[in-house]
Amino acid sequence: MSGNRQPLTREQMKRVIEGRGNAGRIPIAVQAWVDPNVFGTKADEYRAVLNETPCDIEKINLNIPQIFDAPADDPSYRWLNFDNPFPAGTALDAVSALDDWEKLDSVLADFPSPDYPGLIPKNVPPKGDRYRVGLWWYWLFERLWSVRGMENALCDFYENEEEVHRLFRALTNFYKGMLTRAKMELDLDAVWTSDDIGTQTSAFFSLEIFQTFFKPYYQELIEHAHSLGMHFWLHTCGNVRSFIPDLIEIGLDVLHPIQKHTMDEKEIAEQFGNDICIWAGIDVQRVVPFGTPQEVREEVRAMINTYYRPQGRLILAAGNNMTVDTPLENLRALLEEAYTYGTKIVEGRP
C-alpha cells in the first residue's frame, strides 16, 4: 500500500454510513468489484494496483446453497431438492427449474437449513479494526427468477401470488438464521446482498408489486440485521428511482450503485443523499473500459461532487464487476483520484 495509507476503522465507517460525520476522506470500496483473476496473465499487475489504495471494507462471502448442487456432507443443502434437468449452456434466465408450483410443497419440506456448518467460511482471519461485511448474492427477485425463469417469475406476481409469498417466507426464514449465525461467528458489522429490480430504463415491475411482494420481507430482514447490530447494504442495478423512498422507510443503510445512465444522479443526491448512504458506482459500461485515465479522474471528481455530504453518507465503488477490457491505467486513475480527491474534499480544499 502506497505510503502510509491505511483503511478506515470500523467506527469511522459506521459514522459515515449513519450520517454522523465524515472520516478523514471518502471511504473506498472499489476493490470489492474487481477480481484480479479475470485479467489472466496480468492478474498480478492488477492486484498490485488494487493494493496501492486501501479498501475500507473487509468482505467475507457466505456459503449459501446452490440451486441444484449440494455438498457431500449435506445433500439437502440446496434450494431445490432435485437435479438439474437442463443441458449445459442453457441461459440462466431461461432455467425454469421449478417449472410447476405443485413441486413447492416438496421443496419447502426439504429446504436447506441455515444451521449447516459449511455456511460460514473457514479460515477467516481474526477480526481487527476494519469494517467487516458478509456477502451473499440473490435475495428475493433474483432467487425467484433463478428457479422459475424470468418470464415465469414476472407472471407469478399476478398468477401465483400465494406460492411466491410461500417461497419468500421460506427464504426470509433462512436468511434470518444465516444473519444470526454470521453475526455470532464472524462478528460482522454489515451484510450485503443483491437484488436487481431495475432495468436500464425503468423498474422491473410496479411500485404496487414491490410493496406487496418485496417490501414486507425486505423490512423484516433489515430489521433483523439491525437488531443484531449490523448495517444492511443492497446492490440493485438499473433504474430503481420509484423504490428508493420505500427502501429508506424500511431502514436500508447503504444503496449501490445508482447506475449511470439509468437515473438522474443529481436528483437522487438532492432528494435522498441525506437519508441513505450512497455506495456510488463509477460507470463500468463506458468510462472505465473505454475512457482515458483523465476522463476516469474527471468522472470520479464529478461523482464525489454530486454525492458528497458533510455528514457522510457516501462510499465510492465501481458500478458493477469490472471486466477484462478495463485498462490497468484506468483502474489506477480511479483509485488514485478516489483517494486524493476524496481526501481534499473532506478537508475543504477540492
Q: In Å, what is the CA distance from 329 to each residue of 41, 247, 295, 296, 334? A: 16, 36, 11, 10, 9
What the block records as the C-alpha cell of 243 is 423504490
Cell numbers 471528481 label which residue? 301
* pTM across the whole model: 0.96
Buried b (16+ CB within 10 A) or exposed e, 10-43: bebbbbbbebeebbebbbbbbbbbbebeebeeee
- Determine the pLDDT at residue 90: 81
Length of the chain: 350
**pLDDT under 70: residue ranges of the chain:** 1-3, 350
- Determine the pLDDT at residue 85: 82
pLDDT tens per residue, range 88-133: 888 777 778 899 999 999 999 999 999 999 999 999 999 899 999 9
**Residue 47 to residue 324: CA distance in whole angstroms:** 13
- Determine the pLDDT at residue 89: 80
- Determine the pLDDT at residue 343: 97
**Residue 26 to residue 30: CA distance in whole angstroms:** 12
**Residue 14 to residue 238: CA distance in whole angstroms:** 27
Q: In Å, what is the CA distance from 109 to each residue of 31, 286, 319? A: 40, 46, 38
- Determine the pLDDT at residue 2: 59
- Whose CA is closest to 143, among 120, 172, 179? 172
Q: In Å, what is the CA distance from 153 to each residue of 27, 99, 107, 186? A: 37, 10, 17, 34
Handedness of CA 147, 148, 151, 156 (dihedral sign): negative
**Residue 125 to residue 105: CA distance in whole angstroms:** 40
